[in-house]
Structure 1
Amino acid sequence: MWSKSRTAARAVRLVAVFCLGEVLTMSGFALVPVLLPRFTAEWGLSATEGGWLGGVFFLGYVAAVPVLVAATDKRDARRVYLGATLVSGASLLLFALWARDFVPALLCWMGAGLGLAGTYMPGLRALTDRLDPAHQSRGTAFYTATFGVGAGLSYLLAEGAQRLFDWPWLFAAAGCAVLAAGALVAWGAGPRPQPQAGAPEGAVASVAAQDDGWRGVLRDPRILAYCGGYLGHNWELFGFRAWLVSYLGWLHAAEPSALTAMPGVAAAVATFCAVPASILGNEGAHRWGRQRWLARVMPLSALVALVVAGFGGAGLGVGSGAGMGGTLTVVVLVAYAATMSLDSAALTAGLITGTDPGRRGKALALYSCLGFLGAFIGPVAFGMALDAFGRDHPAGWAGGFVTLALAVLLGWAALVRRPLA
């Protein structure tokens, strides 16, 4: 009993350290989405260029994640994490000092995304490597849900701080917070425990045999199904987050309301809703079966996206009395933010707990690479829809939300066609 109590206490401490570290590394996450209306106006950007600026963060992530996450199969993920905090912190500080138009901002923001590639999934790997199997699934759920906490706090702080400080100071503060996250993990999580000398040789050999390179990962239909589902999930989620503040600003100009007056706060509330939804989603997968759960909640999210586009989210008739008001639209958007997160932790926990340890790093690398490729595509596709149908017209915003619905249906199709067990 005492041993179990000590193991549980250690698990709680480790989860707390890595979750707090994740919140700190996410401190700059919402700066470009919140400041995008200002950057667009000051730098004369088109909606497509705005989409590129919002999405290039994830392009940097995709460029680095195959190498960085796969490296955790052979070395302690904590080392990758600590190095990435230096890259991310330096990129944010450089943004504050150098980015004064589109191209420098694009390069710095891409560097910040590259840093995230070395902290998010490697942080999860570093955490789960230090947890016993009984705590891995729920530890994963809390860690992935904390992504929403960090994103929500980033929106909230960016909205308030931009009214008090010039925007370069916000990037500088975020860079310092990322460096603090590295210091926290260096102090709170020691090096990965080495295999015990008395461990059965057969068990070690079995794990080594499972590391059959990329071929085994790419031929595993279960891993590919989760990767496809995550691509659709992130396309929807980050397309939504990249344009949410800009959309609320447009909505407020068309039909002012109390909830749209501070769009960053409304975006933070919507993002915070992802946290309990993600945790509850993993519990739902435990109770009703992962594949059955995902096959139901992902189409539900697509349906809500279409409701947002067709009735409220696009603001059809705003200002004319024909559509839903700004306040009710924000309520619908918050509900949408919750439904789109019901699959998040269920996807990631399912991949980790069912994948052999010897190939887990490469599986996470492919999962992250495809998922955050979707995170890059989402803002760009949304921006292209705005340019095609009119950035100042309800049809443009409706088209943007339709791209999100199509994205999550793409992820759903990848999941239902392959077995997850």
Structure 2
Amino acid sequence: MSAARSPAVLVLIFCCAEALSMAGFALVPSLLPQFAEQWALSATEAGWLGGIFFLGYLLAVPLLVGLTDRVDARSIHLASAALTGLALAGFAAGAHGYALALAWWWLAGLGLAGTYMPGLKALTDRLPIARQSRGTAFYTATFGVGAGASYLWIELARALLPWRWLFAAAAVCAALSVALIWLGVAPLGSPGKNGVPRGRWRSVLGDRRTLAYCGGYFGHNWELFGFRAWLVAYVSWTHARSPDALTALPGLIAAAATFLAVPASILGNEGAQRWGRRRWLCSVMPLSAALALAVGLSADLSRALLVPLLLVYAASMNLDSAALTAGLLTETPHEKRGTALALYSSVGFIGALIGPVAFGLALDLFGRSLTAGWAAGFVSLACGVSFGRWAIGRSDRRPALGRV
């Protein structure tokens, strides 16, 4: 391993490792209609299967991300990517019913807790300060690449392979992620306890700027992961009502929608730097909420209009992603950055847990086979991002949420 990688090479290595570790990310959302039928699940139960992944994430992330203030985040990333592979292999071999599927998918979410934000911390710890904002934007945008690639390969492979083999293939990709970081990134010395103030949690919790970003991320993840959990099921439902070539392969639509997160997230961060972070966030989050309502009311549109509207909505909900995360990182002192990321991730992925469950509950309340049920589901997404906008708006009006 080389101890001195250029910033561009480091960003490339971490982005590739992130995408590999996320190969199984879309397995449950893509196969949710099949699992719901196979295990006779209600929409709420199906929502829990989609959301339990993020319960594992949020239970582990305070410990794992907070620990990056004390140890090199690379080691946490390596162990967690290995855990992701184990969980996916366990799902392939041992998920013989709803309860076991919940347990293995929860464990996979725990693995994500130790790869996503710790990977970001490991990357930014190795980048010059001037490169950290854009490095963060590319890394967080790669989450969309990994998720989109996951939807894509699953859609193409599931007609050829049993679902258990799909989970096994994703486990192999997680192992490749471990190898890439192990061989491509040299370890750093431990930050040590002396570099972290005893009151770091109190300090972070008392910072209104940090809390504003946490609230914004909560709303962003509620909307984003609620949408991704139910997108394949929604497109499948619209296709069953009115078959059309555009909706015949729902996984491809989900992949396209997820890939759009990459340019949207990067452009969102550039827009925030150009026009001011707070102004940008307070503009794009209401736009996303309005598009969620528009999609919810558009189930009867021709597919030539509905599919582009879905894709525009998918892009809009990512205009705030990198702007939120880069803002938190650049405004937090280095010695408290891991703690701030731990809080940010925990609060944000509570939203990721709530989003799929709230959508499923809305379907059960208003009719899983009815237009009203799906419209209510999209209203729940609009409620999530609207909360995020409210949280940003409640922050103090000092320049802290302005230009970065």
Structure 1 length as normaliser, TM-score? 0.92
Matched with 1:38 is 34
Task: For residue 86 of structure 1, report the CA deviation from its aligned partner.
Answer: 1.4
Q: Which whole-Å CA distance do the structure 1 matches of 2:305 and 2:165 have between them? A: 34
Matches within 5 A, 1:343-362: 343-362=320-339
Identity %: 59
Report the secondary structure of 1:259's partner residue: helix
Residue type of the alignment partner of 1:168 = R
Task: Say whether residues 1:130 and 2:117 are aligned partners.
Answer: no
124-133 or 9-18, larger mean C-alpha shift? 9-18
CA offset digits 1:13-66 (Å, max 9, x no partner): 000000000000110000000100000011101100000000000000001000
Q: Which whole-Å CA distance do the structure 1 matches of 2:23 and 2:11 have between them? A: 18
Matched with 2:82 is 86
Matched with 2:179 is 183
Matched with 1:212 is 199
Q: Which of the residues 132, 141, 164 maps onto 2:137?
A: 141
Matched with 1:341 is 318
Task: For residue 176 of structure 1, report the CA deviation from its aligned partner.
Answer: 1.1
Question: Runs of 4 or more off by more than 2 Å in structure 1?
Answer: 207-213
Task: Say whether residues 1:58 and 2:54 are aligned partners.
Answer: yes
Residue type of the alignment partner of 1:302 = A
Matched with 2:165 is 169
Q: Which whole-Å CA distance do the structure 1 matches of 2:373 and 2:100 have between them? A: 28
Task: For residue 149 of structure 1, report the CA deviation from its aligned partner.
Answer: 0.3
Q: Which of the residues 371, 377, 383 maps onto 1:400?
A: 377
Matched with 1:319 is none
Task: For residue 294 of structure 1, report the CA deviation from its aligned partner.
Answer: 0.3
Matches within 5 A, 1:94-133: 94-133=90-129
CA offset digits 1:259-302 (Å, max 9, x no partner): 10000001100111111000000000010000010010000100
Matched with 1:73 is 69
Q: 1:249 to 1:11 in 2, by over 3 A?
A: same
Structure 2 length as normaliser, TM-score? 0.96
Over aligned residue pairs, what C-alpha RMSD do you find?
1.6
Matched with 1:283 is 270
Q: Which whole-Å CA distance do the structure 2 matches of 1:212 and 1:183 have between them? A: 36
Matched with 1:222 is 209
Residue type of the alignment partner of 1:43 = W
Matched with 1:3 is none
Task: For residue 399 of structure 1, report the CA deviation from its aligned partner.
Answer: 0.2
Report the secondary structure of 1:342's partner residue: coil
Contact 1:211-1:359 within 8 A present in 2 as well: no
Contact 1:226-1:347 within 8 A present in 2 as well: yes
Q: Which whole-Å CA distance do the structure 2 matches of 1:219 and 1:194 have between them? A: 27
Pairs aligned (count): 396
Report the secondary structure of 2:59's partner residue: helix
Task: Say whether residues 1:236 and 2:223 are aligned partners.
Answer: yes
Q: 1:211 to 1:301 in 2, by over 3 A?
A: farther
Give ranges in structure 1 of 5+ residues lacking alignment: 1-6, 196-203, 316-322
